[in-house]
Amino acid sequence: MPICPSAESPTGSFFQNYMEPLKHECGVALIRLRKPLEYYREKYGTASWGLAKLYLLMEKQHNRGQEAAGVGVVKLKAEPGHEYVYRERAIGAGAIDEIFGNINRQLASATEGLASAEDIAQAPFIGDIYMGHLRYSTTGRSGISYVHPFLRRNNWRSRNLLMCGNFNLTNVDEVFRQIVEMGQHPRLYSDTIVLLEQLGFALDQENNRLYHEFRDALREPALSHAIEDNLDMARVLAEASPSWDGGYVICGATGSGDMFALRDPNGIRPAFYYIDDEVVVLASERPVIQTVFDVPVDSVKELLPGEALIATKNNAVNTVQVNAPGKNARCSFERIYFSRGSDADIYQERKRLGRNLVPEILKTIGNDLDHTVVSFIPNTAEVAYMGLTQGLEKHLDRERMGQILDLQNRNELTADALHQIMRRKVRVEKLAIKDIKLRTFIAEGTSRNDLAAHVYDVTYGTIRPEEDTIVVIDDSIVRGTTLRQSIISMLDRLNPKRIVVVSSAPQVRYPDYYGIDMSRMGEFIAFRAAVQLLKETGRQHILDDVYKNCMDNLKLPAEKQINCVRAIYEPFTPEEISRKIADMLTPASCRARVDIIYQTLEGLREAIPDCPGDWYFSGHYPTPGGTRLVNRAYINFYEGNTEKR
């Protein structure tokens, strides 16, 4: 009973290794079947319906993690002596196909010759709870030992814990010390292990509480069954989670059949769920659930900050406010870049980001749309590009209307004049083409740099040489590597008069510590530009002052620290920093003038009003741990520890 097609995914991509795209935070998927397996077999023709849905949820969130993947399954009606918690994990961009290929083979072997629903129900990976995880490591550690889901084993089903998550803790050292002080001895050091052991300890405590409650009235096995039937997972989560500082969606299942997902109090990481009489499902992205289960957008709900979705062994499903909601810090970068653009709200938000850039673009090009060609960097900037071009068309409509009314008022409106006015259009072309088939084994040297310049190709014959300006929009400009090594040089081959590169996101100035691969201060082109400006304007002492202030702040409790790094940017306007970025990213061989325009913070907040988490742009971290770590990051930069996070 195959779950997915067999396929091999190429690894060792030159893009992944050299062009430095931002790496996503992880993706999660949870399914709880609410009917007996025979129901799905009769209605959908297969007992592996839930497993097939898990495959689709994971494949459609593949954008969220391509380093590794894992699957966990809990079977509620396994006989003693038979496995009831299954797990399969793999590493690499082809991990999903490898996992489900292995599962398919195990299923085929176990079910060969079986016909009855009862026999098939005992097959491996046919269960009641399904968990999927797509991983990008946020701790710098990799390998199969760090791949989710993690499993805490015990002979009592109610003490088994299967866990995965999309998260990053900022205070993992502190929490690690806490669990060691309780007498535990974790076998690995990672935020996942810390959470697993904390949750496992709280789960043990809950089991002990129920044991003492029922032990005088019941004997085994009735005592164990009573414990399984009465586990209070909200109590377990409330006991373990208050000390966690970071962004997270933590998903788990006990061996006895309780399933949960908990979101951080600030809502930094996203989660959505859907419930009907057949299934409970949770995923990191809303349109994934809509597509896989063919349900309308209004049926898919957001798991609110601090809230847990809990499905019990006995099929009760509810949401519980485990932790008090904090300040709304839903991640804006999630909306700009990471999440699928097919989400109804994200699609409109990205279009607004593009439209909000129109005034600054018109100012930069001197309002000369007749000699400007507008394009985008494939592929995530395409929706913002649509909003940009629509905004430019609206501006041109106003110009055309004004010209027509002016000629009409002067009685000079002729058919020829009207034709000349109406033929003016925003010139849009697909200038950049990403050559996704390009691969290389070259590791270094000039050949590698030459290859980088050819990762993108251009459409020739679309630009009037030495006459036209190119305006090209990208979703974000973080490190600038791709711009300098490939995009600007590639566009310059068309011999334009000017190249204007536009970012739909504001300047990324500060590291992220909640699950996005942006944790080293010196990586950011905006930071490097500000540092360079300080040196050029004789204000290098500010770098020394910030270092001293960071050192002093680290002596304080995290909740009393301030972001000292903001002082680096205070002497300069965003426009001054953008001009320096353009200067630093323009290759020496480039003939065209290069300008760079970033989204403003005001434009971002207008476009995405419901997700105000903008710490990478503003420096306003939603948790004390983020502020502490940004000060630590600057110290690492100042002391030359470039590899430390």
- Distance between CA atoms of 466 and 458, rounded to whole angstroms? 17
470, 569 Cβ separation under 8 angstroms: no
- Quick one: 159 and 34 in the same domain? yes
Question: For residue 389, what is the domain's CATH number?
Answer: 3.40.50.2020
Last residue of a domain, one of 326, 347, 369: 326
Task: Choose the final residue of a domain: 326, 349, 378.
Answer: 326
Q: Report if residue 483 sits inside a domain.
A: yes
Burial class (CB in 10 A: 0-12, 13-18, 19+), 160: buried
Q: How many domains does the chain have?
A: 2
In a domain, 1, yes or no: no
Judge if 281 and 380 occupy the same domain: no
Residue 2 lies in a domain: no
pLDDT at site 276: 97
Q: Both 344 and 319 in a single domain?
A: no
Range of the domain at 34: 14-326
- 97 and 114 both lie in a single domain: yes
Choosing from 326, 353, 377, the residue where a domain stops is 326
Domain membership flag for residue 526: yes
Q: Is 46 exposed, middle or buried (0-12, 13-18, 19+ CB in 10 A)?
A: middle
pLDDT of amino acid 607: 98
Q: Is residue 8 part of a domain?
A: no
Query: Is there a single domain that holds both residue 317 and residue 370?
Result: no
User: Cα angle vertex 590, ends 597, 598, to 5°?
Assistant: 10
CA distance 304 to 301: 9
Beta carbons within 8 Å of 165's beta carbon, 6+ residues apart: 26, 28, 133, 148, 192, 195, 248, 249, 250, 251
Q: Are residues 275 and 375 in the same domain?
A: no
- In this structure, the answer to whether residues 276 and 346 fall within a common structural domain is no
We report the CATH number of the domain holding residue 73 as 3.60.20.10
Same domain, 147 and 31: yes
Report if residue 643 sits inside a domain. no
Same domain, 517 and 474: yes
Contacts of 455 (CB under 8 A, 6+ apart): 14, 15, 18, 19, 434, 435, 438, 482, 486
Q: Give the predicted TM-score (pTM) of the model.
A: 0.90
Beta bridge partners of 134: 27, 69
Both 354 and 316 in one domain: the answer is no
Residue 53 contacts residue 281 (beta carbons within 8 Å)? yes
Whether 7 is in a domain gets the answer: no
Would you give the DSSP letter of residue 157?
Answer: G
Q: Which residue has the tokens 């600054």?
A: 360
Q: Dig out the tokens for 272 from the structure.
A: 């959505």
Same domain as 481, residue 343: yes
Do the domain assignments include residue 246? Answer: yes
Measured distance CA(67)–CA(69) in Å, rounded: 7
Binned average pLDDT, 10 residues per bin, the chain of 645 residues: 39 35 71 95 93 96 87 93 94 92 90 68 91 73 82 95 92 87 80 87 96 95 96 97 94 97 97 98 97 97 98 97 97 89 93 98 96 91 96 95 94 92 93 63 45 73 95 94 90 96 97 80 94 97 98 96 98 98 96 98 97 96 95 94 70
DSSP 33-59: E-S-HHHHHHHHS-TTHHHHHHHHHHH
Rounded Cα distance, 280 and 223, in Å: 28
149 upstream amide cis, omega within 30 of 0: yes
Same-domain status, 302 and 399: no
Are 481 and 576 within 8 A, CB to CB?
Answer: no
